[in-house]
Structure 1
Amino acid sequence: MDGQENEQRDTGGEGTPATGRARRWASWPRRAARSWRSGWLRRVGVALAILAVALGGVVAGTYAGGHVGTDIGPFRAELDLSPSLHGGTTVDVPPLGALLLNSHDGPTYLTVRLGALDQRRTQALIDDPASISRASQSAVADVRAGVMRLGLKTLGATLLATLLLAGLVFRDTRRTAWAGGLALMITAGSLGLAAVTMRPQAIEEPRYEGLLVNAPAIVGDARRIANDYTKYAEQLQRLVGNVSQLYTTVSALPVYEPAPGTTRVLHVSDMHLNPTGWQLIRTVVEQFGIDVVIDTGDITDWGSEPEASFVGSIALLKKPYVYIRGNHDSARTAAAVAQQPNAIVLDNSTTTVAGLTVAGIGDPRFTPDKNTSPAGSGLTKQVADQVIGAGEKLATTVTGSPRPVNIALVHDPASAGPLSGTCPLVLAGHTHARQVSKLPQVPGKQPTQLFVEGSTGGAGLRGLEGEKPTPLSMSVLYFDQQKMLQAYDDITVGGTGQAQVNLERHVIKDPAQGAEVPVTPTPTRGGPEPASPSPTR
């Protein structure tokens, strides 16, 4: 047997070691290719795993550590950095809204939140208004220093998060180091791309949200801005200065802290198809915690069928919306409002909402081609009888209500007279001019206050016919648990082409007598010149 095997090895026949060696040499390229493919796929898999861990660490580190606090002028601000498919900057100015800037490209988004004012510096601003300008001079340097600290902190946080994550996943020093280096490159590259693509001129064309949508000149006159960093710095100083002025004036308002159980009612009127009015209403509803919106009519201009779609924004408020028809609103308009899921249309009827019993009646006229006029002026006897008759009808309804009526609604203030003594408060509109007064008291009856609202839509296109545009007006009414009016805020936003925002607070000392604490108007405006208060009553 051994001899045969030796013979086979010597002859190199079939199945001999020589034949095996030949076969192994012949199959070596295939085995080498399989081994190379296996190694290449393994390396690709490791590389993808390292990349995934690095990206995860960058995102986690940015969310965990990408925020710093810094002083910007008189404000304490928070700077936050977050991953984003598109770059940009948001400047939050609570409770007014936000400015959205297309400031840079890249996968990083910067959010600047202006927080509380330092008490000591705030008092200094109130005592010396000129210090606002001085305080804002350091705004540019403050922002630059804050952004630098934010970038360095973000780099450190992403590197640390990636190293921890890679250590847990790989348990290999070399791969952990690769992941950390890659995370550092990604973060530094993203920040570098944002710096390289920085557009200082973006502050010329901000997009506004909240109340700021109606006061774009808070950042100054864009026509004066040149496309260079010096002008950008000037605009940033102006922004900080004007917002500082707003905060200091609001801080001087009489203090009124609504007690638990307070009902907040937003009174709007005379929208006249102005979509800007809806933007303002939505902002106030959200930021003031409104419970009920009351509309005293003229939501449209002509009461036509195409205008009916304008009332669709009522449903977006997601709050009860009590409405009466104005002289510019048709029956079709009232029907379109009634179709909104949160709307209540009153026409010589009552409703109870948020604990308040409200009675209302629509204007007896339909005169879409008529301009507004002061209450009771220029009315023929026939029309005057109609308007006063509507008030008399509602007074009968209020008197016969099984529940005491807290608020009565009429469109034209000329209808309010017969309601004196039937309820504590009557709301109206129509004249496009805000006014607060007492109705002549009926002996033995409760006193009745009449609140006439201006135009929440700035009188629509009619607001542009005069020398000065009609401002956008609305009021927030605060009722206590007994449904007595305790205070109210008058909000006025300058009309088209103007940039003044007024917030006036009125605190009622004795709700039974309707006496008020005298309040100085607190106007704010965009621009370097000081605002001059204009009476709204």
Structure 2
Amino acid sequence: MDPVTEEGEAKPGWRARLWSAVRRIPSSRFSRRTGVLLSIIAVSLVGLVLGVLLGARAQTDIGPFQAEMSVRPAATGETEVVVPPLGALHINSHDGPLRLTVRLGALDQERTQALLNDPSGITRASQTVVDDLQDGILRLGFRTVSVSVLGAVVIGLLVFRSTRRAAWCGGVALLVTVSTFGLAAGTLRPDSIEQPRYEGLLVNAPAIVGDARRIAQDYGKYADQLKAIVANVSRIYTTVNKLPIYNQVDGGIRILHVSDLHLNPSAWPTIRTVVEQFDIDAVIDTGDITDWGSEPEATYVASISLLGVPYVYIRGNHDSAVTAAAVGRQRNSVVLENKVVDVAGLRIAGIGDPRFTPDKETSPTGSGRSRQVIEQVYNAGAELAATIRASGKPADVCLVHDPESAPALNGVCPTILAGHLHRREVRSLPPGPGIKTPSRVLVEGSTGGAGLRGLEKDEPTPLQMSVLYFDNTKTLQAYDDIQLGGTGQAQVTLNRTVVGRPQPGSPITPAPPQPSATATPTPTPTATTLDGN
């Protein structure tokens, strides 16, 4: 208990006496200023962080993409590129407590279309993307400085209720923000982009595209030659009338068969040129228009509506329901999923690939050739055959993605179109019970040159497509195989094959090509040879 004074009052305890003594010590000007300074710094940092979290972002265009860039406080400095829903990649790009995030959004349809329609646009886009990124980072930097200073001033006014101290808070925030940006710029590591860390589906990216530097180099060669390629495709039509049976097929039905575009933007201007120059009545796509079947990839199909002719499509094993829905939204598109339709005077039946190989949970067997996979694919063809029989009318053309589906359709329709193999083949199925005339299977190569994977090889995968000529009885009379030399090559070759009666049980191969016409090449080192059988 506290001691009692003579007047009977309790004496204060030792704690009270100590605190009273401390309060009587005159505080120095230095200690007061130190306390105020520490308070200003603390309030400045709080306001800076709040300002950055709420407003340090900017919208920018990077090539054809609409992107959002933002900065956030972080324990270590890095750059994060988010590609929803595929995942993200992290780059150890700089030091300092600052993270830069670039979130790629939707493709701008107008800019994407302009890029696809202009052969030289790809080259220009690759040259301007760095400028776009630098411009976006510069605008983001100014915005970050602004919101950090504003946040510190506002919090300073609320805490101190003094414009002078609030101004000091803004000054401290400005100094910290500029110093942080300076540290990031001074420790920038441009080579770090060669060793990113992947998350999500992008974990598979290195295995899929291989050496990114080599692909970029090869694609640069391709962009340089793209304009000459499209010009040569136009030129082949001026001499195609010298090939056999031109007059016989003129006035019939002309179908352009494409397959396995795999997101190659150069495929669209070539397809459009062939459609216009060859007076195509309809385009048939036997699948794999994308790589992952994701929502961002769906914007790639916007060029379908510009072709001006029906576009008949079936899913490949790389296409999802999202992909099919995106194709179905395009003008003139026809998506077949175990259906029979009449298009351009032909009765066409088609079914999508039963697999979706990017999703290993729903397609655990992948795209290999195990017995389970072959049965799965064969059954898809059998399902389509049952649909055709149930319709009560025969089909003129059947569409499957994998040629392993074709045997189940033997004798159901005379011509079966497929893709998937990334190489051109023509086969005749063997006769069997109840099959009077065996079906002919035309397997198309990759119209997209196998996408990015086609750039990994020493000999790049060529772009291939075929023009099919049907007469008034809806019988295949001839086909022109068009091949554009692989990346870095602008040679365009066309082979005309006149269709004869199939030889049961053996593949059909054209006779050795005999040159019939050669278009004059452009001044670039290119050539366009037209070979007819």
**TM-score with structure 2 length normalisation?**
0.51
SS in 1 for 2:398: strand
Verify: 1:211 aligned to 2:230, yes or no: yes
Verify: 1:364 aligned to 2:360, yes or no: no
Q: Would the alpha carbon gap of residues 458 and 468 (structure 1) be closer, same or farther in structure 2, given more than 3 Å must change? A: same
Q: 1:247: Cα distance to partner?
A: 9.6
Q: 1:388: Cα distance to partner?
A: 1.0
Query: 5+ unaligned residues in a row in structure 1: which ranges?
Result: 1-96, 101-204, 216-242, 371-375
Whole-angstrom CA distance in 2 between matches of 1:422 and 1:447 = 9
**Structure 1 counterpart of 2:256, from 263, 266, 275:** 266
Counterpart contact for 1:210–1:283, Cα < 8 Å: no
Q: 1:429: Cα distance to partner?
A: 0.2
Q: Would the alpha carbon gap of residues 307 and 521 (structure 1) be closer, same or farther in structure 2, given more than 3 Å must change? A: farther
Counterpart contact for 1:214–1:499, Cα < 8 Å: no
Verify: 1:440 aligned to 2:459, yes or no: no
1:22-56 Cα distance to aligned partner (Å, 9 max, x none): xxxxxxxxxxxxxxxxxxxxxxxxxxxxxxxxxxx
How many residues get paired? 303
SS in 1 for 2:492: strand
State the partner residue of 1:86: none
Q: 1:507: Cα distance to partner?
A: 1.4
SS in 1 for 2:499: strand
Deviates more, 1:327-336 or 1:391-400: 391-400
SS in 2 for 1:414: helix
**Structure 2 counterpart of 1:309, from 286, 295, 299:** 299
Counterpart contact for 2:249–2:470, Cα < 8 Å: no
Pairing of 1:103-122 with structure 2 (within 5 A): none
Counterpart contact for 1:508–1:517, Cα < 8 Å: no
**Structure 2 counterpart of 1:449, from 431, 440, 458:** 440
**Structure 2 counterpart of 1:257, from 247, 272, 287:** 247
1:263-293 Cα distance to aligned partner (Å, 9 max, x none): 0000000000011100000000000000010
Q: 1:518: Cα distance to partner?
A: 2.9
Q: Would the alpha carbon gap of residues 521 and 443 (structure 1) be closer, same or farther in structure 2, given more than 3 Å must change? A: farther
State the partner residue of 1:281: 271
Verify: 1:415 aligned to 2:425, yes or no: no
Whole-angstrom CA distance in 1 between matches of 2:325 and 2:442 = 26
SS in 2 for 1:275: coil
Q: 1:381: Cα distance to partner?
A: 2.3
**Structure 1 counterpart of 2:375, from 375, 378, 385:** 385
State the partner residue of 1:159: none
Counterpart contact for 2:228–2:522, Cα < 8 Å: no
Q: Would the alpha carbon gap of residues 484 and 278 (structure 1) be closer, same or farther in structure 2, given more than 3 Å must change? A: same
Q: 1:533: Cα distance to partner?
A: 9.1
SS in 2 for 1:253: coil
What residue identity is the alignment partner of 1:470?
T
**Structure 1 counterpart of 2:332, from 330, 334, 342:** 342
Q: 1:340: Cα distance to partner?
A: 1.0
State the partner residue of 2:449: 458
CA RMSD of aligned residues (A): 3.8
Q: 1:294: Cα distance to partner?
A: 0.3
What residue identity is the alignment partner of 1:481?
N
Q: Would the alpha carbon gap of residues 365 and 491 (structure 1) be closer, same or farther in structure 2, given more than 3 Å must change? A: same
Verify: 1:333 aligned to 2:326, yes or no: no
Whole-angstrom CA distance in 1 between matches of 2:323 and 2:464 = 22
Query: 5+ unaligned residues in a row in structure 2: which ranges?
Result: 1-116, 121-223, 361-365
Counterpart contact for 1:358–1:408, Cα < 8 Å: yes
1:454-508 Cα distance to aligned partner (Å, 9 max, x none): 0001111010111211101000001011100111100000111122211000112
Q: Would the alpha carbon gap of residues 317 and 534 (structure 1) be closer, same or farther in structure 2, given more than 3 Å must change? A: closer
Verify: 1:490 aligned to 2:509, yes or no: no
Whole-angstrom CA distance in 1 between matches of 2:359 and 2:454 = 15
Percent of paired sites with the same residue: 56
What residue identity is the alignment partner of 2:465?
M
Whole-angstrom CA distance in 1 between matches of 2:428 and 2:450 = 25
SS in 2 for 1:451: strand
SS in 1 for 2:309: coil
State the partner residue of 1:520: 513
Verify: 1:467 aligned to 2:467, yes or no: no
Counterpart contact for 2:249–2:477, Cα < 8 Å: no
SS in 1 for 2:246: coil
Whole-angstrom CA distance in 1 between matches of 2:302 and 2:367 = 34
Verify: 1:353 aligned to 2:372, yes or no: no
State the partner residue of 2:285: 295
Whole-angstrom CA distance in 1 between matches of 2:294 and 2:239 = 43
**TM-score with structure 1 length normalisation?**
0.51
Whole-angstrom CA distance in 2 between matches of 1:247 and 1:302 = 35
Whole-angstrom CA distance in 2 between matches of 1:397 and 1:331 = 21
State the partner residue of 1:3: none
Whole-angstrom CA distance in 2 between matches of 1:502 and 1:256 = 17
What residue identity is the alignment partner of 1:467?
D
**Structure 1 counterpart of 2:470, from 461, 474, 479:** 479
State the partner residue of 2:166: none
SS in 1 for 2:453: helix
Q: 1:369: Cα distance to partner?
A: 7.6
Q: Would the alpha carbon gap of residues 485 and 251 (structure 1) be closer, same or farther in structure 2, given more than 3 Å must change? A: closer
State the partner residue of 1:223: none
Pairing of 1:10-49 with structure 2 (within 5 A): none
Q: Would the alpha carbon gap of residues 528 and 330 (structure 1) be closer, same or farther in structure 2, given more than 3 Å must change? A: closer
Counterpart contact for 1:268–1:453, Cα < 8 Å: yes
Pairing of 1:113-192 with structure 2 (within 5 A): none
Counterpart contact for 2:349–2:384, Cα < 8 Å: yes
Counterpart contact for 1:503–1:521, Cα < 8 Å: no
State the partner residue of 2:141: none
SS in 1 for 2:431: coil
Whole-angstrom CA distance in 2 between matches of 1:504 and 1:411 = 23
Counterpart contact for 2:305–2:331, Cα < 8 Å: yes
Whole-angstrom CA distance in 2 between matches of 1:526 and 1:209 = 7
Pairing of 1:51-66 with structure 2 (within 5 A): none
Q: Would the alpha carbon gap of residues 533 and 466 (structure 1) be closer, same or farther in structure 2, given more than 3 Å must change? A: farther
State the partner residue of 1:424: 414
SS in 2 for 1:502: strand
